[in-house]
Structures are given as structure tokens and as C-alpha cells.
A and B are shown apart, each in its own frame.
Chain A
Amino acid sequence: MNTAAHPIAPEEVMAFLDGELAPAEAQAVSVHLDQCAECADLAERFRATSESLAQWTVSAVPSSLEESVLEQAASAAAGRMPAKPRSYFDPSLWGWKQWALGGGGALAAIVMLMVVSSAIMSRPVRQVEMAQQVAPSPEAEGYVRTRQPNDQPAVAKSELAAASAGVAQFDSLQAAKSLPESRAGGGGGGAPASAPAAPAPMIARTVSLTIIVKDFSAARASLDSILARHRGYAAQLTAATAENAPRSLQASLRIPAPELAAALVELKALGRVQNESQSGEEVTQQHADLVARLQNSRETEERLRAILAQRTGRIEDILQVEQEIARVRGEIEEMESEQQTLEHRVDFATVDLQLTEEYKASLSSPSASFSNRIQNAFIAGLRNAGETILGIVLFLEEDGPVLLIWLAILGLPVFLLVRRYRRVRTKF
């Protein structure tokens, strides 16, 4: 049946029989069918096929179906919509859209869960840190009160307390120093009369401040003047003034304890306080111990000197006593310097200050020329691209085999199921 011999295509014969041709074409096909036996045979085949198909009859609609549908129709007409017979959540009814949506949703939920849980895991640690910083130890209570700027009496009182503490401790120091003289005359024995009976608490205070300032140079200048006014000094100071970046200053200040509250108020006035923490270390006990040990050593020294002065003996004995005196003297000096350090820590509070400038980018001072920056950016871009490619290669080398294993473990069952699904699918 080649088309060259026939003016009409075989498909058109079929379309003609199905009544799908325009009248003019139908006319042409009809004429051709009368003339061409081959095409008439084809048409006959189509008719025969249709006829045999028509034998495929179907039983009558069950009356139960009829009743149920008409019942639903009546209730629908009465305004009650029939309930949806199936749930949307039946996964066997899902198309790829639902699967994609569900899968994507589940993935997003997992990621969210991981993010949230990691945030929760990391939070308690920070809270503990903050609690440690904020919790006022009993000694630091005075300073906690000074943090309220309007509470002037409290400030005064705490200053007074700190001052009196300093005086009391100074007294005890003097007493300890005067002890040897009194002993020299009295010749030992008897309880030390000048031991601190009810020592005021000795507190070594540390304050940490982070301040953001608008004008860095002005802040720097007023920092110096604050130090001068309060007779404090900077134990350590580092200033960083990088170009095109916020300037910053890191300093460890020592401020006389009575002045601390006033100095802190002035420091805070420099700018916006971003972070502040205060702590006080109680060293009363440590100091009292030191004083007592110092006293003992001095008494020992006195007694040894007395021995040396009063007794005459063998040269070895004298040498031994002198050695002993030297050892005790060394101990005393060590303890004295320790005492001084401790007292210095109490007399001078430590303020760790971090000043940062509020950065304003300025156009006026470009660091590099335009062409240089273009070139730098281009090179950086190339380098980044190279790094990225290298990273991918390294990742594949490092994790590729593991990924392949997981792909095999997870992918194989999926592949088998999909294949089975496809095969089964054609049977319906």
C-alpha cells in the first residue's frame, strides 16, 4: 500500500470512517474508495475490527450504585456536600508533586531541627558564663550598688567602706612593721598586741569594660585625663589604628580603689557601654595568713640575732646561725613583696578596658588606586575559584568513596523498588 499510488493516506481512510474529515476531504475519500479495491479492503478491515470490538459488552450497572449515587445527588442538591471519601494523606495517591513537596518539607524540617537543636545546645554554656559574670559575690556588693548612677549615698558609702578598709589594712601593716622594734626591747614572748582584731574585708577588684566611642581621639585624651585625675595609671596599653577599619584600644588600667567608682562613671561616659563585668576577690584571709607568717619569721630572725649577739662559741656554730639568719631574711623579703603585691591589688583596682571606634567608612582616603583594586579583586577572584575547585576535588577524593558506599546502600533498594513499581505499573 504505497502512498504514491493512492491520492489519500491510509490514515485518512480511517478518519473518514470515524467521521473526522472535513466534507470536501470526505467526498474525495469516498470517491477513491469506490475506485480503489485496496483502500476499500482497508476500510473493510477497520469496519470488521470495530464490529468485533462491539461484541465486548458490559453487564448492567448494579442497582446499588444507582441508589447510592442518587442519594448523594439529593443530599448535594440540598446543600450538603458529600464528604471526601479519601484522605489527601494517602501516599499511594501521591503524584510526583506531592512526593517532592513532602520530601522537601521533611528535609527542611530536619534541617530546621538540626539548626534549632544546635542553637539550644550552645546556649546553656553562654548562660553559665554570663551568670558567673553577673552574679554579685558578697564582697562585690558595694560595687553593684555603685552601678546605679542615681544612688549617690550608696556610692559615697561604698567609697567610705573601701577607704576605711584601706586604712585598717594600713594600720595592720604599720603594726607588723613596728613589731620587731618592740620585740627588740621587750625580748620576745607575749601575744602580739597589734594583730588585726576584726579586719575589714580586703577585696581585689577587677572590672572589664567594652566601650564603643564615636570620637576615638577625644576618648583617648579623656582617658588620659581620667587616669591623671584619679591618680591611676595604665599598666598596659595597646592602640590599633589601622586604615579603613575601626580604631581600637586595649588597656589594663590601675585605679586606686577608693576612686574606682568615680572613675568608672567617667569611663562609661566616654561612649556606649557594650559589655561590662565586675568581680571582686576576697583576699582578707590570704593577707592575714601572710602577716602571721611574716611575724613568725621576724621573731625567728630576732631570736637568731640574739643568739649571735649573746653567745660565743665555735666558728662552725656561728656560721650555721648566720646561714640560718640569711635563709629567714630571704623568706621575710619574699613574703614582704608578696604582701605588697597583694596590698597593691587591693589598693588599686584593675580595669580592663576595650575602646572601639564606631567605624565610619570614608570615601576620601581610598587605600589603593582604582586599577590596583580592580586587579587585586580579579586575582582574588581567580584564586577563590581555584580554591573552590580544589576544595571540590579534595572533597571528592576524601569523601567520594564513602558517598559511593552510601549511595549503594541507600540507592540500591530504591532502585529495586522503582524497577518493581514500573513493572507492576504496566499490569494495571
Chain B
Amino acid sequence: MNDAPRDSEAESSQTPQSDEVLMVAFSRGQADAFGALFARYKQPLFGFFRRRVADPAQAEELTQETFIAILRAAARYQPSALFRTYLYAVGFKILRAYRRKAAFRATFLGEQPLGGEPAIDNAIETQALMRQAVGRLERLDREVLLLREFEQLSYAEIAELLQLPLNTIRSRLFRARLALHDLLATPASHPAARNFAQSKERL
């Protein structure tokens, strides 16, 4: 089941209304408008969390939380940016809060993190290797890469989301892609890549 945006594009071509129009309609009390939006974005958003959080149940919860946050803020929604950017911005905030919370608990309450990388629920070896390789990327590089490849955000949208200059996003993405290509070419643990992964830089 791929959540590539082709699905949502196909869906949005069936329905002439844009995301922003739907959101405004919902904020004015049209209940089924949100249903349409949810249908468009449930899979991409779930994928967004699923690729970044180890525990599937946690990913589900965060997805739900994001949609509920959108619901709660619907009355204040201003169609100034693309709904998609808005949705991922909210999701990203919730993800950060979750990471902070989890790190806090691990530090002060002694809870062990559930392994850094998303659990492998599929036994295909190439996929497992690929995920391992992604996990070895530097944190910020990985984030930029995932946002570009899976959420299909533009450079400008990523820059806004991560609060970084556009050029930084471009060079990070470039670096991440080349590093990932090298990691996939030599799947054995690469010292340079390991250094990247252990870098203390945080989002």
C-alpha cells in the first residue's frame, strides 16, 4: 500500500474542490468537507508518522492527534498557505512534542526508547537495508530527505517547516541523497555514515 501523492492527486482530480476550499467549507460547518480532506490525507499523514516513529500504535495516535488539532483549530483556519503545508506543519509540531516527551521520559523516568528506527514489519531484505541506510543519515539530512521524497513538499515548503534557509535545504537534500546512494551501494556499516548518525545535531 503506497501512500505516494499520486493517489491523492488522482482523488483530487475526481473532486474539483481544492483542499483549501474544503477546509474553509468545513470551518463554516460543512461536516462532510472534512471527511473528504481526511480521505485525501489520512494515508500520507499516517505514513509521515509511521516512517518517523518506531511504534505503529504511537504513529496511529499521533495521526489522530494531528487531525484532532486541525479540527480544533478549524474555526481559526485562514487559507493563507496550502492546506498540505499547514497539515504537515501541525503534524511536525506534534512529532516534535512527542520526541521531546519521549526523550524526557527516557532521561528522567528511565524508560527505554523503542529503538531509533521504525520497526521492520516487512521481511523484504532490500527494504530493510534501505531503512537502515536512511537511519544512518544525519538527523536533519534525513528529515529533509523524507519530507521531499514521501511528503513531496517543495524546497520552499520544507524550508518553512524546518525554519531554515532555502539554500540550506537544497544542500542538505543534495548531501543526503548522495550519502544514501553511497550507503545503499555499500550496505556494510560505513564509518562516515556512522559518524553522521551519531552527530548531536537535533531538529
Contact = CB atoms under 8 A, between A and B. Distances in A.
A85 B68 contact: yes
A68 B131 CA distance: 30
A53 B60 contact: no
Interface in B133-162: 134, 139, 145, 148-150, 154-155
Q: Which secondary structure dominates chain A's binding surface?
A: helix
Interface stretch (A43-51, A151-159, A189-197, A379-387): A43-51
Given A61-B43, A421-B103, A11 B130 contact: no
Interface of A: 10-11, 14-15, 18, 20, 45-46, 48-50, 52-62, 64-66, 68-70, 72-74, 76-78, 81-82, 84-85, 90-93, 95, 417, 420-422, 424-428
Tell me which of A11, A46, A424 has the highest count of chain B C-beta atoms within 10 A of its own C-beta.
A424
Tell me which of A20, A45, A69, A417 has the highest count of chain B C-beta atoms within 10 A of its own C-beta.
A69
B107 A421 contact: yes
Interface residues of B, number: 69
Given A14-B174, A52-B130, A59-B121, 13 more contacts: A18-B148, A53-B130, A55-B127, A61-B42, A65-B63, A65-B64, A73-B67, A78-B31, A92-B101, A417-B107, A417-B108, A425-B103, A427-B113
Interface of B: 1-4, 26, 29-31, 34-35, 38, 42-43, 46-47, 50-51, 56, 60, 63-65, 67-68, 71-72, 74, 97-108, 113, 116, 121-122, 124, 126-127, 130-131, 134, 139, 145, 148-150, 154-155, 170-171, 173-174, 177-178, 180-181, 184, 198-200, 202
A316 B104 CA distance: 107
A424 B106 contact: yes
A73 B71 contact: yes
Contact of B171 (A11, A48, A73, A422): A11
A350 B176 CA distance: 96
Given A54-B4, A69-B64, A90 B71 contact: no
Q: Which 6 A-B pairs have the closest CB atoms?
A: A77-B31, A92-B104, A428-B99, A421-B107, A92-B101, A425-B103
Tell me which of B107, B124, B184 has the highest count of chain A C-beta atoms within 10 A of its own C-beta.
B107
Given A11-B171, A45-B181, A56 B131 contact: yes
B64 A427 contact: no
Contacts of A18: 148, 155
Nearest to A60: B1
A76 B116 contact: no
Given A53-B130, A58-B50, A69-B38, A14 B173 contact: yes
Given A46-B177, A92-B101, A92-B105, A85 B149 contact: no
Given A56-B130, A65-B64, A85-B68, A425 B99 contact: yes
Contacts of B171: 11
A20 B154 contact: yes
Contacts of B134: 53, 56
Nearest to B43: A61
B47 A72 contact: no
8 contacts: A20-B155, A53-B149, A59-B56, A64-B60, A76-B34, A82-B71, A93-B101, A428-B113
